[in-house]
Amino acid sequence: MKIANISLPNNLFLAPMANVTNLAFRMLCKKYGASLTYSEMISADAVVRQGEKTMQRGMTCEDERPFCIQIFGNSPETITEAALILEEIYKPAIIDVNMGCPAPLIVRQECGSVLLNFPSLVYDIVNRLTDNISTPVSAKIRVVDDMEKTLEIARTIEDAGACAITVHGRTREQMYSGTSSLKYAKAIKKELSIPVIANGDIKDGESAKHALQYTGCDGIMIGRAAIGHPYIFRQISHYLENGESFEFDHCTQQVNDFMEYIVLLEKYGIFSLGDVKAQSKAFTKGVLGSRHIREELNDKKTIESIIGVISEMCAGTD
């Protein structure tokens, strides 16, 4: 598929996820077939202030390209200023604007899903960006209860010059509860001519196939199902190509991926014990002895000792 002038080998995208989609994690998802990967959301205000930790979130490498940087904010001027800095340093294929985050920390700053209440601000943000940066601009939205209002936001984003839109079929009030409705992405796809990407509750080959068929969308975006399980991209692409699942050794896969994740963190200079501990639960979910591994990791301070613990576990699962 194509977005703006970017040719992508498939239509499976990794969702932006704060504290998850760092470069190491994104590289694993790329390896298993995500064609477009998204950074964690980056604060436009913090970029303009040159916050070092914030800037690190945009870090990429040649093997990852094409990749997308997601930005959040509410001032068209600041978002554009931040986007100019990010495009200069990281040269992303796309800059995406977060218009869906319901987290209290973001909502309190009147960013993320709050923007959906203000279609003219949505227009100004996207329009100012597309007028001033050379990178294509996309937006990721949640839905609002009213279909017509949701369609109005989507049209506004297209009219303002966006190259694509992602639709997570939950409202802000739902947070992550209930189910994500695909009917909004379907209706938006019918109306718009830019690519539309469906997102929400896609967790395996069957749900991926259903989302594509039902909505007619150009692509699908996978979030939570990839946490601790980047191999999901291989499973889904296999299912979409062949109409069936394949058998694999879940334990070995999870443990090997976790080990590779740690090696990649070190390679890109973003290793932190806190992150490894946070991800250990996800990467060892369902693996025999996973509680033991998490306990063992608690006392480990060096990358060698962490890898030692994980490789022992791997041997136990062979």
What are the catalytic residues?
Answer: 101
Structure tokens at 108: 């309190």
| Nearer residue to ligand FMN within complex by CB, 171 or 296 | 171
Tell me the number of residues near ligand FMN by CB under 6 A: 22
Cα–Cα distance for residue pair 122/82, rounded to 1 Å: 17
Structure tokens at 178: 């209930």
Cβ neighbours of residue 144 under 8 Å, at least 6 residues apart?
116, 150, 153, 171, 172
Cα–Cα distance for residue pair 234/262, rounded to 1 Å: 20
CB of 171 to ligand FMN, least distance (A): 12
Selected range binding ligand FMN among 80-88, 185-193, 200-208, 288-296, rule: CB under 6 A = 200-208
Cα–Cα distance for residue pair 38/14, rounded to 1 Å: 6
CB of 220 to ligand FMN, least distance (A): 9
Nearest to 279 by CA among 103, 35, 102, 22: 22
Selected range binding ligand FMN among 28-36, 184-192, 218-226, 309-317, rule: CB under 6 A = 218-226
| Nearer residue to ligand FMN within complex by CB, 33 or 296 | 33
Cα–Cα distance for residue pair 285/289, rounded to 1 Å: 10
Tracing tokens 């990839």 back to the chain, one arrives at 226
Cα–Cα distance for residue pair 272/250, rounded to 1 Å: 26
CB of 84 to ligand FMN, least distance (A): 21
| Nearer residue to ligand FMN within complex by CB, 98 or 215 | 98
In the chain, the amino acid numbered 3 is I
100 binding ligand FMN? (CB under 6 A): yes
CB of 106 to ligand FMN, least distance (A): 9
76 binding ligand FMN? (CB under 6 A): no
Residues that bind ligand FMN (CB under 6 A): 15-18, 20, 40-41, 70, 98, 100-101, 140, 168, 180, 199-202, 222-225
